[in-house]
Amino acid sequence: MSQSWSAPLAPAPVHATVAVPGSKSITNRALVLAALSRRPSTVTGALRSRDADLMIAALVALGVPVDSDGTTVRTGAHTALTGPALVDCGLAGTVMRFVPPVAVLAEGRVDFDGDPRARERPMGTVLDALRALGADVDGAGLPFAIRGRGHLPGGAVTIDASASSQFVSGLLLSGAAYDDGLTVHHDGEPVPSLPHIDMTVEMLRTAGVSVDDSEPNTWRVEPGPIAPVDWVVEPDLSNATPFLAAAAVTGGEVTVPGWPARTTQPGDEIRQILKLMGAEVDLTDGRLTVRGPGRLGGVDIDLHDVGELTPTVAALAALADGPSRLRGIAHLRGHETDRLAALVAEVNGLGGDAEETEDGLLIRPRPLRAGRWHAYADHRMATAGAIVGLVVDGVTVDDITTTAKTMPDFPAMWSAMLDGGRG
């Protein structure tokens, strides 16, 4: 059920320490690898949100024993994946793209469906690839069905992953469990969000899987066992960005503890973006601190590899002193919503000046006014509205509940930050 939310105005520069929950991207990859290992594994510090809970439910539906205690999730030993099963993808790209390559290994029929908007998201790339590898797939997008035979021949497949890096990651995660392993070759425009594929490759190697990514646009996964791993999940750096942005737009200071010195998470790029816009950024002893400038500058930047940061950066740009051009993000038209059109509509709806370009956005700052900011069932659109609301009185986000996709407690965390919260 949607819930309208009056975005609180910051009465003074924000000063707070904000601990963010675990990474969705790492959590859901770890859960898939734990299930495929077929031996007991533990995921500590897991994100517990709608996306992660949908992943857990999908694996349970396939016969994987799962026990959870807060942010600790344990998968039990099992001999095989089984159907029949029904997988609810919600609006989770990681579920709709990562679970079908797992489901082909089950015995029996597995049906997939999701939220209405999920039915509009591209799925043909993954499903056609599975067909080419020997799977029995009925459908080209949600809803669709897979008739598993307990194994998949595997082999080599060429895909166009220019719409989403998840197409590559989803196939790679299960590749070692296929009879002949898996080789994925990308043929098309550059793959967006390449750091997410790097994350997948690194986690596969941690689980003892041999992956060769030495050739550009080609990934080879050797067949073999997937080792059980006790995964420890990093904080979600992309979910940290709205809180860091709060420091930038209010001239305050926000610290996020637990920030890794080395990571494959694309959200780490926010450090460089905030520096370019004039903020002071310091990472010391695992604590990232951002101090906002007196005047926030515009930026001309290519966000192709870190497109998930676009709503946060667009909110910053709408509040900056100079124009910004955000490039390399045409693929965002196929995310939870058409994020480019949505951002233009919402910034302009508050009196701003934003326009779409062929591959991104051009934002020219103007004084913004009170009004309704629509979330479009997109968690990052909702948090972008919260950022704007810090300095523009009277902004209302039409559906704050959509933040539960990755941050179930976002409204409370936002209020605690404004109260100078710590922890």
**In the chain, where are the structural domains located?**
5-21+235-418, 24-232
Q: Which pLDDT value is given to residue 422?
A: 52
pLDDT digits (tens, 9 = 90+) for 36-89: 999 999 999 999 999 999 999 999 999 999 999 999 999 999 999 999 999 999
Q: How far apart are CA 263 and CA 268, in angstroms?
A: 7
Residue with tokens 């809180």: 243
pLDDT for 420 equals 84
Let me know if the fold of 5-21+235-418 is the same as that of 24-232.
yes
Phi, psi of 154 (to 5 degrees): 75, -155
Confirm or deny that 324 is annotated as ligand binding: no
- Tell me the β-bridge partners of 135: none
Alpha-carbon distance values, 387 to 189, 394, 418 (Å): 33, 12, 12
Please tell me the number of Cα atoms within 13 Å of 289 on its side-chain side: 10
Tokens of 157: 């497949």
Sign of CA dihedral 43, 219, 82, 117: positive
Q: How does pLDDT run across 254-309, given as a tens digit for each residue?
A: 999 999 999 999 999 999 999 999 999 999 999 999 999 999 999 999 999 999 99
- Please state the separation of Cα 168 from the chain's center in Å: 15
Beta-carbon contacts of 254 under 8 Å, excluding residues fewer than 6 positions away, are: 14, 15, 16, 17, 18, 243, 244, 246, 247, 289, 290, 417
Is domain 5-21+235-418 classified as CATH 3.65.10.10? yes
The candidate with the shortest Cα–Cα distance to 47, out of 232, 265, 269, is 232
Query: Could you tell me which of 146, 131, 218 has the C-alpha nearest to residue 183?
Result: 218
In DSSP terms, which residues pair with 88 in a beta bridge?
113
Tell me if 265 is assigned to a ligand binding site.
no
| Candidate CATH numbers 3.40.50.720, 3.20.20.70, 1.10.1370.30, 3.65.10.10; the one for domain 24-232 | 3.65.10.10
The pLDDT score that the predictor gives to residue 51 is 94
pLDDT at 423: 43
Q: State the sign of the Cα–Cα–Cα–Cα dihedral 412, 275, 189, 196.
A: negative
Is 164 one of the annotated binding-site residues?
Answer: yes
pLDDT in tens, the chain (423 residues): 789 999 999 999 999 999 999 999 999 999 999 999 999 999 999 999 999 999 999 999 999 999 999 999 999 999 999 999 999 999 999 999 999 999 999 999 999 999 998 999 999 999 999 999 999 999 999 999 999 999 999 999 999 999 999 999 999 999 999 999 999 999 999 999 999 999 999 999 999 999 999 999 999 999 999 999 999 999 999 999 999 999 999 999 999 999 999 999 999 999 999 999 999 999 999 999 999 999 999 999 999 999 999 999 999 999 999 999 999 999 999 877 899 999 999 999 999 999 999 999 999 999 999 999 999 999 999 999 999 999 999 999 999 999 998 998 999 999 999 998 654
φ and ψ at residue 362, rounded to 5 degrees: -120, 120
Report the candidate in 112, 120, 126, 2 with the shortest Cα–Cα distance to residue 57. 112
- Phi/psi of residue 108, nearest 5 degrees: 120, 180
Whether residue 41 is annotated as binding a ligand: the answer is no
Establish whether 121 is an annotated binding residue: yes
Q: Tell me: is residue 193 an annotated ligand-binding position.
A: yes
Which residue numbers are catalytic? 308
Judge whether 29 is annotated as a binding position: yes
